[in-house]
């Protein structure tokens, strides 16, 4: 059976959830999917780095709490998060990149992805930065090195809208896409409909873990802007940058705006959209929109995300699902790994001197 060795870059909620999934369901997944997964390297800002070519003992690592020190006390461990060394020199076949998103230049995630691709390793990432800001360049680099660059979780977590559109809409002309791409904003707007002010709704979202301590990226539309760039470029064949996508968040919406929309059978939603003009060019934007109650996106409530695709033969097709959550996003990484496997038939794990060991 084929085996893939993984290096996890970042060991916060998402990659930790992926490790938990492999630890608890690894045998079941191997039987179902036809390949097995083994984690051989982990890096983390708090814990440092851990490299064990024969496989990391996951129960031990997953049991580490905030006060239990770093990886330096473990064989193959260091207090330093040696990201570049681990990516370039570990025996991993696949690098799972799940660090924070830098909306300005995509670093350090862009470098993480580049190092891996240059080293001939597949990459799966949940990070919007590398895809939105350097996607074309990184895909070309992946192709040049004969490896895969997968990023399903970069838009709405575990809901596979990119792969759905690319694989299931074959034979259809996709003319546009619009969606609720930020669950935090959607939750906040719903609470404002219930009578809370913006600041109260943001505080509640923070208390529930939906919003960061600094909610600017969410409520001012920066997060959605990156996701729109990804959707436009990946699904509509555009070559947009952030500068091409006008952005307006929800911070200017007032209680009066909310009430006025309700009185007219409408609901405010922060909408990211990209549409093909008659001349073939792509127009995209991020802005709050008062949608009529019969619009398919108007009924999407709470932290849920949804995307409506405009097609030539089916008309509008709407898909909704979780837009956040550590387990849901970890599933996106797993779906990327499955796509990598499907794109590399017969591939065995690791270097040539470990091929036989990968067979069971």
Query: How far, CA to CA in Å, does 122 sit from each of 70, 248, 264?
Result: 27, 36, 51
Is 227 annotated as catalytic?
yes
Helical packing angle, 222-235 and 128-144, nearest 10°: 30
Give residues with Cβ within 8 angstroms of 81, minimum separation 6: 43, 44, 45, 47, 48, 49
Q: Which helix (H) or strand (E) holds 250?
A: none
What is the Cα–Cα distance from 277 to 253, expressed in whole angstroms?
29
Number of neighbouring beta carbons within 10 Å of residue 30: 17
Partnered with residue 107 across adjacent β-strands are none
Number of neighbouring beta carbons within 10 Å of residue 47: 21
Coil vs helix vs strand at 6: strand
Q: Which of 121, 128, 227, 269 is catalytic?
A: 227
Catalytic site positions:
227
């Amino acid at each position: 059976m084929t085996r893939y060795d993984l290096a996890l870059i970042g060991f916060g909620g998402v990659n930790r959830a992926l490790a938990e999934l492999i630890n608890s369901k690894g045998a079941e997944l191997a039987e179902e999917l036809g390949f097995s997964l083994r984690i051989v390297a982990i890096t983390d800002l708090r814990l440092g780095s851990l490299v064990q070519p024969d496989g990391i003992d996951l129960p031990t690592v997953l049991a580490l709490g905030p006060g239990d020190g770093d990886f330096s006390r473990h064989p193959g461990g260091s207090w330093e998060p040696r990201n570049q060394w681990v990516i370039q020199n570990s025996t991993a076949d696949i690098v799972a990149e799940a660090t924070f998103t830098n909306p300005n230049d995509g670093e350090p995630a862009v470098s993480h992805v580049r190092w891996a691709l240059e080293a001939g390793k597949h990459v799966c990432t949940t990070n919007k930065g590398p895809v939105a800001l350097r996607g074309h360049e990184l895909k070309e680099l992946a192709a040049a090195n004969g490896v895969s660059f997968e990023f399903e979780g970069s838009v709405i977590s575990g809901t596979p809208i990119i792969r759905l559109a690319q694989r299931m809409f074959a034979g259809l002309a996709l003319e546009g896409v619009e969606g609720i791409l930020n669950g935090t904003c959607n939750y906040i707007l719903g609470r404002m409909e219930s009578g809370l002010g913006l600041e109260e709704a943001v505080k509640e979202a923070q208390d529930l873990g939906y919003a960061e301590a600094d909610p600017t990226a969410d409520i001012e539309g920066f997060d959605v802007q990156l996701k729109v760039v990804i959707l436009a470029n990946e699904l509509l064949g555009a070559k947009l940058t952030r500068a091409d996508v006008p952005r307006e968040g929800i911070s200017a919406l007032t209680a009066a705006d909310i009430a006025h929309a309700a009185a007219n059978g409408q609901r405010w939603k922060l909408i990211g959209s990209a549409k093909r003009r008659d001349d073939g060019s792509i127009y995209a934007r991020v802005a709050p929109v008062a949608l009529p109650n019969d619009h398919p996106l108007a009924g999407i409530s709470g932290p849920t995300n949804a995307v409506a695709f405009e097609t030539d033969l089916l008309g509008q097709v709407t898909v909704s699902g979780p837009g956040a959550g550590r387990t849901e996003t970890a599933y996106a990484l797993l779906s990327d790994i499955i796509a990598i496997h499907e794109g590399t038939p017969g591939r065995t794990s690791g270097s040539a001197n470990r091929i036989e060991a990968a067979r069971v």
